[in-house]
Amino acid sequence: MTRLSLPQVTLCAVDARSPALAAQALQRSMAAVDFARVLLLTHGWQPATPLPGIEVVDIGPVRSGAEYSHVVLRRLPAFIDTSHVLVTQWDGFVVDAAAWTPEFLQWDYLGAVWPEQPAGRSVGNGGFSLRSQRLLAAGTDARLTAEHPEDVVLCRDFRALVEGELGVRFAPPELARRFAVENEAVTGPTFGFHGCYHLPRWLDEATLQAWLGELPDPFFRSRDARRLAKAMLRARMARGAAGLIARTRAAGRHDPQTCLLGALARLQSALGLQHRGGAAR
């Protein structure tokens, strides 16, 4: 299979909470794509074994979502010397290199569509996003008086400034859907995705369970954990879903929805409705 060559693009993740997972996500994006550079910006972590092709850079503490946003908006440009950077997180990676089109590089920002937003500001999600040097420079503009969440700041709150005065070009929704998916169903070829609730589509159950073992308690108290449990049940990953719900309860969530999901996982397991084979599709 011919590999996709992207010498104009740096692949980058910023993660000091679950850097081992971020590294695995980077490796999955690298599986079929040759990037100019691959960066993992983290703090206080080094891999147990070498990560070929990945530069691990200690940038100091990143203790919250707000600090993550600050790094991506204000500090990331100093690390990028290519025309574009593909920003990813632990729960997103390239899944179909054949979906790439050179047209992606004609825009300053591509991210998954926010379906609840009007078309003029629906692009988009920052967790798997392609950003140009013009977009990176816009993030350092002092007139951006807010920083968090960084994708909402750039794509919604300060869209008029970023697009109108700073000249950033946001891709149209139809092209963004070919680039990535987040809060919509996968309906066609897509280059990548963001959102842990899509992982059952791309990871087998054993791998997904191993990934969950790397996550801290705050994740299991989040809405995303419950969305992931539902996705695992739809994929008939009953054993993994049951483990996820048990960890969620151990982290302090005992709400009715969590209890119902646990009961559904037990029922699915008792009925033998277990996914077999590789990643769910």
Domain check: are 62 and 143 in the same one? yes
**Other residues' Cβ atoms within 10 Å of the Cβ of residue 164:** 9
Domain check: are 181 and 245 in the same one? no
Residue 280 domain-assigned? no
Type of residue numbered 268: Q
**Other residues' Cβ atoms within 10 Å of the Cβ of residue 242:** 20
Domain check: are 121 and 60 in the same one? yes
Tell me, what CATH number does 52's domain have? 3.90.550.10
Q: Which structure tokens are listed for 273?
A: 């409705």
Domain check: are 117 and 20 in the same one? yes
Domain check: are 173 and 97 in the same one? yes
Kindly report, residue by residue over 189-237, the tens digit of the pLDDT. 999 999 999 999 999 999 999 999 999 999 999 999 999 999 999 999 9
Mean pLDDT (the chain, rounded): 95
pTM beyond 0.75: yes
Residue 277 has pLDDT above 70, yes or no: no
End-of-domain residue from the set 174, 194, 214: 194
How many distinct structural domains can be found in the chain? 2
What is the DSSP track for 101-167?
-GGGGGSSEE--B-TTS-GGG-B--STEEEEEHHHHHHHT-TT----SSHHHIIIIITHIIIIIIS-
Domain check: are 188 and 90 in the same one? yes
End-of-domain residue from the set 154, 169, 194: 194
Q: What is the mean pLDDT of residues 81-104?
A: 98
Domain check: are 212 and 188 in the same one? no
What element of type H or E holds 42? strand 33-42
Residue 164 domain-assigned? yes
pLDDT band at 17 (very low <50, low <70, confident <90, very high): very high
Owning domain of residue 241: 197-270
Sign for the pseudo-dihedral over CA of 241, 94, 163, 75: positive
Domain check: are 81 and 206 in the same one? no
Residue 40 domain-assigned? yes
- The 3-state DSSP class for residue 225 equals helix
pLDDT band at 8 (very low <50, low <70, confident <90, very high): very high
Domain check: are 21 and 127 in the same one? yes
Residue 80 domain-assigned? yes
End-of-domain residue from the set 194, 218, 253: 194
